Structure 1
C-alpha cells in the first residue's frame, strides 16, 4: 500500500525539504506550527497543519505526542527528518505499532548503531578499521575510572578524546591534552552527554592531530541491496560541529575511496540497513600519510537518518534522496535504479545566527529581512521567512546554501557570488566568516582538516577587519542615501508590505558615487510579525569606474528604525532608537559585571560571594541548545554578590554576579 500523507515530525528547513520530496511523488504532508499562522516557507507545500501553543524541543522529543499528531492529521506515514527523534528506535517502533509507515531505517538498525560503543564493536567484527579506544568508560564513585583513562593515555599518549557514546554533533566531546585535565574533562563531557542524550556513557579514543572528517552516503532497501552514493568532506568545523560540507571529498586516492565505500557497505549490510544513512570516518591527513595510495581511515559513527548535508550528494548524483526514502518505505528496490557516477562538485554552507567573534556562541534574535540570491548552480534550503525570528529554544541554523559547479573552484565562486547578493539582515550571523573561509587560500587551494578554523582563526578575522574598514566610507554613504528617502511606514492591513517606491532615481549621484536600484522585492509578512515592516532590495554602485553590487534592508522593529547594507557580503548598520527604547546588550554599568553570554540554564556556579577570581577563570557553566558554555572572568577581581543558582534559567546578558575589578 502506497503512502498517501506523511506527518513530518520536525521543523524548519528540513520540514520544507521533506514536504518538497513528498510532493514529487504526489504524497501529501502534515506538520506542526505555533502562533497565528504557519510559516510562509511551508505554505503551499504542507496540506494539513497541527497548531500548538508553543514550539520547544520537548514537544519534538515527545514520541507519543508525535504519533498522536500523525493520527490526528489522518496520515499513514511518519518522516522524522534529522535531529530530535530521528534516531530513536522506540519512536520508530511506536509509529509502526500505530499502523503507520516509518520512513527510515528499521528500529533494529537504529538500536544497533545508537551507541557508539556498540557500533565500534560491530565495525571491528566486520573488518571496518577503528581508532584505538575504550568502548564504554565505567564511571565509578571511587574514581577508579580516572586510572583507566590515565593508563590508556600512558599507553597511547596524549592527546586523547572523550565523547558521548549515545550522540553526535560535538555534544559531550572533550579533547584532553594533559593528565591534570582528565577529571574535569570527564565530568564536563558526561554532564553534557546527559543533557543532550539522557545518557552519560563515554568513549575514550586516541586523538588524531591531523584528521579529516569524511563520510559515505549509503542507501539500502528492504530487498537486501545496499549502495554507496559517493562521499563528502565535512572537515571545516567549529566546536566539533560542521559548517561546510562538500562532495566528492577532495584529495582521496582511488584506493582509499574504494576501500572506504566498501567498508561503509559492509557495515550497512551487517545491520540490514534500509533507507538513507551515513557512515562517518576520520582520515589521517598527517603529512606522512596524506600522499600515500593507501591513506589511513577509521570508523567514527553511523548516522541512521538523513544528514543535514545530503543536498551536496543529491546535486552531484542527480538523485532526490528524500523521494527515494519514500519509495523504499513503499517497498521499492534501488537495484539498477540509482545513479552511480558523480558529476561536478557541490559545496554546502550552514548559515547560523552565531557570534563568530565570541567562540561561535548562538546569537538568537530578529531577522529583519531575508532575500536569497538565486543563480546558476545555486540551491537554498531555507528555514526562515522574509521577516522572522531566530529563537533561543532551538539550534540557531537558519538554512543552508548549496552551490554546484563543474569543479570545486567554480562551486566556491558561485557561493561567494550568491552570498554577496543575498539580503540577510540579522544582528549577528556567520555569513562574513564563511566568506572569509571561502577566500582563504588554505581552503580554496588546498584540503582543510578539522583543525582549519583553529589554525587560521586570527587570519580569517584579520581579513574581515581589513575588508570591513576598507569599505566603511562607501557603506556609510550608501546608508546615508537610503536614510534620506522614505522610511518604512505603518499600515492598516497586515500581511503584505507596502514598498517604498523610487528609492533611487536612475543615475542619481552622491558626490563621486553613482548608484541605482534595479531590483526591489515585495515580501509577505508573517502574521505573527505584523507590526514589523521591511523593504528589501539590491543595487549597483559605480564609483571611479568601478562597478560593485550591494544589498539593502530598511526595517522597523520594536520602535527602532534600522538600515542595513550588505557590501561584498559584509554587513553595515545604522539604527534610530526612540528615547524610551533602551539599547540591547550590556549597559556601561554592567561592564565590570559577569553576564550570561547566551540564554540558557545554569549548570554550575563555581564562585561565591567574597571569592577572588583571576582573569579567564571559569565562574559559571551554562547549558544552551544542549551545549555547555563557560562563563569566564574578563579580568581579575573580587565577587561582591552571586545572583543566580544552579538550575536557574537566564537570558542573554543577564547578570550572573556583581564584582569589583582588581586594581592594576
Structure 2
C-alpha cells in the first residue's frame, strides 16, 4: 500500500479521498488554487501545495504543476477525483512517465472510452446494445444535418469528448439543427478542447441507469449493481438512487454483464461507470418491457458513488487505492449483495425558479442534518465547504451531497425529506426546497421516472409556496421583536413591546415576498401582549384577515410559533433586511423593508439589461441599432462551466453593447442598453 498520495482535485471529493486514506494509514497531499487557499480540503489533508490562479486552466488543469507538487512532497500516487484531469489520458501517461501511480484506469482505456463515437464503435464490436445514431468521424455541418434528418427527430447532438451534460443539445425539428450544432460545438471546444459531435435518436420516456464496475490488474471485473440517475435538469443529475426502482433481477443481471463486457473490452482497471439509456416502451409500470442501450463509459469515480457504497457496504475509494497498489478486488461477484435502498441529493448553489441559474455568494449559515437523530449510517453528508465559505464562479455549483439509506425506498424517501428539512443554507440561492418538492411529488414517490420528469412535473415542482406568506411574515415579525429584546434598555419609555396606558397600540411592518409588497399590522392587546397580526398587499383596499400571534423563543433563532390555529417550530435567520424562515413544510425568503433607509430610491432601472451572475461573455446575437422582441436571445454567458442564454425581457431597440466577447463581468453588470425594455 502507498504511504502518501496526492489528490489532484478539490471540494468534497478531495475531502472524501483524504478521509478514506487516513483510515487506511495513507498520508495525503492537497493542491489548491488562489480561490481555495482556505478551503476545507486543504485542511483535510496532511500537506498542501499552491498550484496557481483561481480559474481551473491556471491551476487544477495544469498537470505539470501537479506532478511537480507530487515530486516535491514525495507522493507515490495521484488520485484525480472526478472532473478536471480524471479522464485525461495525457495526464495518466504523464503520471506513469514521472514514476507515479495514476489511481484510475490505464491511459489506453481512457482513450478508448473518452470519445463517444469511437467508444460506441468499440461497444458495437463487443455486442453491447447501442442507440440508433451517427457515430462517425465526419464533422461537416451539412452532412451532420443530413444524418439527423435520416435518423428522425427528435435527436440529441452530443459532444464526442463530453460529459456532465455539457456539449449536449436536444433538437426537435430540422430547421433548429444548425443553430443547435453551432452552440453545442462552441460549448464542447470550451469545455473539452474538442468540438467533434455525434448524433443519436432521442429515446422517448428514457431512464438513465448506470452500472458501477470495478476491475483489477489480475483480470477480475465485477459490477456493483445499478444506480438510477433519471431525475435531471439541463442534462445534469439532481437525484440518484440505488437500486433502480422497478428493476427486475433478470434485467439487472443482463445489464451488469453487459457493463462488465464493456469494461473487459478495454482491459479496464479501477472504478468505472457504464451508462445506459433505458427505453420504457410499455410505460412506467411494465419493467419487463424495458430495453437498454449503451450511452458512454465514465472512466472514473462518479459523484453518485455513495449510494452504491450505502447499498453494498463497500468503500469504493478504498477499493481504488487497493487496486491501484496492485492488490486484487476485495470481493468476487458472488459475494456482492444489495442491502436496502439509498438516495443521493445534490445540493447546489442555483435558482431553480430561474432556469437553475448558478448562484454565488457566502454560506452565511450552513447547518447540516443532525445525524444523531437517525441511526448510524442512515444519513451522510459529503461536502468540501464550511459555514462562512464563499461559492465562487470558478468551479461547479455543487455545495454538498446528502445521502440517505433505508430498509426500502419508502423509508429512504422519508429520511431524505427529513434530512433536507434540517439542511439550512442562508446567503445564496440553493435548490434545497426544490429537492423537497421533487421528493414529495407523486411522480417521484411512485417511481414514474424518466429524464423529462422535472419538465413533465413543472406544475407541482415550480412556483410553489410551501410556507405561505402569512406564516413567513409572522415568523419574521416574531424574530424581529425577539431581536429587539436584546437591545432594549431599562427605560420603560424606550421599550418596543406595544405597551400602552390607554387602549390598544399597533406596530407596522413592510415586507417584500415573492415579488409582492406586503404591509403587516401587529395589534397589541392592552398591557403589551401581542394580540393579532394582519397582512395586506400594499395598495389593497381591504384589510387582511387578522390572526392571533403567539410565540416562545427556543434559542439560536428558533421559535415555537402559533398563528391562529397553526402551530409549528420555525427557525429564522435575519441578516440585514434579508429574512430566511425554515419550517417543517419548507423554507421561505423575504425582505423586511426599512422604509426610511430606502427613501429616495429609484423605482426602476429603465432599459438596462444586466448579468444575472458573474461569468464570461461568450457572444452577442445583436448589434447596436437592432430591433428585438421579447424572449429573443441577445447574448450568451458562461459561468460554472455552463452556457446561459440571456433573452430580451421586452420589445425594444439595442442602443449599446457595453462589453465584448471574452470579457469577465460581475453579477449585476450592465451588458446591453436597450430602449423600451423593462429592467432584466
1:509-552 Cα offsets, whole Å, 9 max, x none, are 9654333426x5xxxxxxxxxxxxxxxx6554466676533334
2:261 to 266, 269, 281: 266
Residue 87 of structure 1 is matched in structure 2 by 87
Q: Does residue 229 in structure 1 map to residue 224 in structure 2? A: yes
Q: In 2, distance between residues paired with 1:239 and 1:485?
A: 47
Residue 494 of structure 1 is matched in structure 2 by none
Q: In 2, distance between residues paired with 1:192 and 1:647?
A: 14
Q: In 2, are the aligned partners of 1:39 and 1:385 still within 8 Å (CA)? A: no
Residue 623 of structure 1 is matched in structure 2 by 638
Q: In 2, distance between residues paired with 1:156 and 1:241?
A: 25
Q: Does residue 515 in structure 1 map to residue 552 in structure 2? A: yes
- Where structure 1 has 5 or more consecutive residues not aligned to the other structure, the ranges are 488-508, 521-536
Q: In 1, distance between residues paired with 2:42 and 2:147?
A: 55
2:347 to 340, 348, 351: 351
Q: In 1, distance between residues paired with 2:51 and 2:478?
A: 43
Change (3 A) 1:587 1:178: farther
Q: In 1, distance between residues paired with 2:398 and 2:41?
A: 17
Residue 571 of structure 1 is matched in structure 2 by 588
Q: Does residue 425 in structure 1 map to residue 420 in structure 2? A: no
1:178-205 Cα offsets, whole Å, 9 max, x none, are 1110111111110010011000000011
1:312-332 Cα offsets, whole Å, 9 max, x none, are 000110110001100111111
| Secondary structure of residue in 1 paired with 2:345 | strand
| Secondary structure of residue in 1 paired with 2:44 | coil
1:228-253 Cα offsets, whole Å, 9 max, x none, are 00100001111000011000011122
**How far apart are 1:292 and its partner, in Å?**
5.2
Task: Answer with 1 or 2: which has the greater Rg.
Answer: 2
Residue 498 of structure 1 is matched in structure 2 by none
Q: In 2, distance between residues paired with 1:340 and 1:486?
A: 58
Q: In 2, distance between residues paired with 1:582 and 1:454?
A: 42
Change (3 A) 1:662 1:219: closer
Q: In 2, are the aligned partners of 1:421 and 1:551 still within 8 Å (CA)? A: no
Moved more, 540-549 or 624-633: 540-549
Q: In 1, are the aligned partners of 2:274 and 2:298 still within 8 Å (CA)? A: yes
TM-score, normalisation: structure 2: 0.85
| Secondary structure of residue in 2 paired with 1:402 | strand
Write out aligned runs for 1:310-329 (5 A): 310-329=305-324
Residue 364 of structure 1 is matched in structure 2 by 360
Residue 446 of structure 2 is matched in structure 1 by 445
Q: In 2, are the aligned partners of 1:23 and 1:45 still within 8 Å (CA)? A: no
Write out aligned runs for 1:28-67 (5 A): 28-33=27-32, 39=38, 41-42=40-41, 45-51=44-50, 54-58=53-57, 59-67=59-67
Q: In 1, distance between residues paired with 2:324 and 2:9?
A: 18
Q: In 1, are the aligned partners of 2:607 and 2:677 still within 8 Å (CA)? A: no
1:268-308 Cα offsets, whole Å, 9 max, x none, are 11111111110000000244586152520110110000000
**How far apart are 1:97 and its partner, in Å?**
1.4
Q: In 1, are the aligned partners of 2:474 and 2:563 still within 8 Å (CA)? A: no
| Secondary structure of residue in 2 paired with 1:410 | helix
1:425-476 Cα offsets, whole Å, 9 max, x none, are 12311111111111111111233210011111232124x2254436323332
Change (3 A) 1:38 1:420: same
Q: In 1, are the aligned partners of 2:282 and 2:289 still within 8 Å (CA)? A: no
Q: In 2, are the aligned partners of 1:7 and 1:75 still within 8 Å (CA)? A: yes
Q: In 2, distance between residues paired with 1:337 and 1:554?
A: 54
**How far apart are 1:353 and its partner, in Å?**
0.7
Change (3 A) 1:646 1:295: same
Q: In 1, are the aligned partners of 2:616 and 2:638 still within 8 Å (CA)? A: yes
1:4-53 Cα offsets, whole Å, 9 max, x none, are 11111111111100101111110011112456996474476311111356
Change (3 A) 1:53 1:603: closer
1:474-515 Cα offsets, whole Å, 9 max, x none, are 33234324432548xxxxxxxxxxxxxxxxxxxxx9654333
Q: In 1, distance between residues paired with 2:191 and 2:63?
A: 16
Change (3 A) 1:577 1:106: farther
Q: Does residue 281 in structure 1 map to residue 318 in structure 2? A: no
Q: In 1, distance between residues paired with 2:44 and 2:470?
A: 44
Q: In 1, distance between residues paired with 2:239 and 2:47?
A: 34
1:574-595 Cα offsets, whole Å, 9 max, x none, are 5688999999xx9854353222
Q: In 2, are the aligned partners of 1:211 and 1:282 still within 8 Å (CA)? A: yes
Alpha-carbon RMSD across the aligned residues, in angstroms, is 2.7
Q: In 2, distance between residues paired with 1:582 and 1:436?
A: 38
TM-score, normalisation: structure 1: 0.87
| Secondary structure of residue in 1 paired with 2:551 | strand
Q: How many residues align?
A: 613
Moved more, 36-45 or 412-421: 36-45
